[in-house]
Amino acid sequence: MKEATDQVLKELHLKMVRIRRFEEEAGVMQENNKIPGALHLYVGEEAVAAGVMQHLSKEDQITSTHRGHGHLVAKGGEFKPMYAELFGRSTGYCKGKGGSMHISNMELGMLGANGIVGGGPPIAMGAAFSNQLRGTDNVTVSFFGDGASNEGSVHEALNMAALFKLPCVFVCENNGYGEFTPQAKHQVTVDVADRASGYGMPGVVADGMDVMAVYEAAGAAIERARKGEGPTLLECKTYRFYDHSGVRGFGIPYRTNEEVEQWKQRDPITMFEARLIELGVLDSKQIDAIYEEVDADIQEAIEFAQASPFPDVDELLDNVYYEES
């Protein structure tokens, strides 16, 4: 694989900052009761989405999880329709029908966040089957968590993807918890990637807090899939800085503050910014300017979302079925 250019490094950084700031502001909006329903935030896990999506075109597809905003931002999602969807407005990506857990956009190859743990991998495998049948060179990446790795659906999808040698990459975002249950209490396996050998596909473990490690491992897996050599199971060890749902969650004492603080010492963005400065790719002023620009976009998008109309109640039954126009 080619050495990452300065441009790539800057794009990786921008992707992560855009995700981080999008999520932080979404968290604030939920705490202010502006966003209804559940909100599973991606803060802390940004390096995974950024490092993987850097290798994907708009035509490549992904399936996401209930913690899906980061994937969509990294895939090219725009803030305005994203916030509008979280606010339940008609200008949202799903016209307010899906919300946080079902946010999607087919034009960007984002085949959906998914409220069902383990829901995505079989769909990704099907999209990869479609790419193979139609003779495209597109790759499908399926994100799922350590919790989902125990679902039968994930097992079936991995087996079929390997059997059919599909252009697919399975990215396990192992954040150490299936909801509130720590990994050691939900599986004996330490590295989910170990399971890959059982499917006859490569299993790779990457440091999910190091965007370059993810970038390199994902690059190899995606290139392999694109060349028709079949799927890879890539496990990225990561951590959610916020709670399972919302910023502070339900106050369930399932992990210690010390543990959270320890992981925050390895904040993927802080670490990468130090590296970029060291490499002379960006200086701290340029980094500040990036945040200012992203924040301006976010403020504009939130204003847009809040000013957008709610869906017309007459639209309730629209799109239950496809109807010929």
Partner 1 sequence: MADTASQESRVIPYVSAINEGVREVLKEQEWSFVAGEDVAVAGSVFGYYAGLLDEFGPKRIVDTPISEKGIVGLGVGASITGCRPIIDIMFMDFIGECMDEIANQMAKMRFMFGGGVKLPITVLTMAGGGQSLAAQHSQCLEAWLAHLPGIKVVCPSNAYDAKGLTIAAARDNNPVFVILNKASLAMSMEVPEGSYEVPIGKAAIRREGTDLTIVAISRMVHEALGAAVKLKELGLDVEVIDARSIQPFDSETVVNSIKKTNRALIVHEAVRFGGIGAEIAAQIQEDAFEYLDAPIMRVGAPFCPVPFSPVLEQAYMPSADSITRHVKEKLEL
Radius of gyration of the chain (CA): 19
Selected range binding partner 1 among 9-17, 66-74, 105-113, 299-307, rule: CB under 8 A? 105-113
Q: Smaller CB distance to partner 1: residue 83 or 272?
A: 83
Out of 68, 96, 230, 268, name the contact with partner 1 by CB under 8 A. Answer: 96
Q: Smaller CB distance to partner 1: residue 99 or 268?
A: 99
Instruction: Please list the alpha-helical segments (H only) found in 134-199.
Output: 152-163, 183-186, 196-199
Question: How near is the Cβ of 15 to partner 1 at its closest, in Å?
Answer: 23
Out of 112, 147, 176, 268, name the contact with partner 1 by CB under 8 A. Answer: 112
Q: Smaller CB distance to partner 1: residue 156 or 191?
A: 156
Residue 118: strand, helix, or coil: coil
Per rule CB under 8 A, count of chain residues that contact partner 1: 46
Distance in Å from the first CA to the final CA of the chain: 47
Contact between 36 and partner 1 by CB under 8 A: the answer reads no
Contact between 156 and partner 1 by CB under 8 A: the answer reads yes
Out of 163, 184, 190, 307, name the contact with partner 1 by CB under 8 A. Answer: 163
Return the axis-axis angle of helices 6-31 and 79-86, rounded to nearest 10°.
20
Question: How near is the Cβ of 80 to partner 1 at its closest, in Å?
Answer: 15
Q: Using the structure block, give the residue that is written with the tokens 């959610």.
A: 240
Residue numbers 241-280 binding partner 1 by CB under 8 A = none
Contact between 98 and partner 1 by CB under 8 A: the answer reads yes
Residue numbers 62-91 binding partner 1 by CB under 8 A = 63
Question: How near is the Cβ of 242 to partner 1 at its closest, in Å?
Answer: 24
Contact between 22 and partner 1 by CB under 8 A: the answer reads no
Out of 10, 24, 115, 181, name the contact with partner 1 by CB under 8 A. Answer: 115
Q: Using the structure block, give the residue that is written with the tokens 């989902």.
A: 148
Residue 265: strand, helix, or coil: coil
The angle formed by the CA atoms of residues 26, 28 and 34, to the nearest 5 degrees, is 75
Residue 110: strand, helix, or coil: strand
Q: CA distances (Å), 319 to each of 155, 163, 314, 315, 316, in order?
A: 31, 35, 12, 9, 9
Residue 217: strand, helix, or coil: helix
- The beta strand positions in the chain, using DSSP E, are 61-63, 140-145, 168-174, 177-178, 181-182, 203-207, 232-237
- Among residues 161, 157, 175, the alpha carbon closest in space to that of 49 is found at 175
Q: Smaller CB distance to partner 1: residue 45 or 85?
A: 85
Residue numbers 116-155 binding partner 1 by CB under 8 A = 116, 119, 121-131, 133-134, 140, 152-153
- Which residues form the interface with partner 1 (CB under 8 A)? 61, 63, 92-98, 102, 104-106, 111-112, 114-116, 119, 121-131, 133-134, 140, 152-153, 156-157, 159-160, 163, 318-322, 324
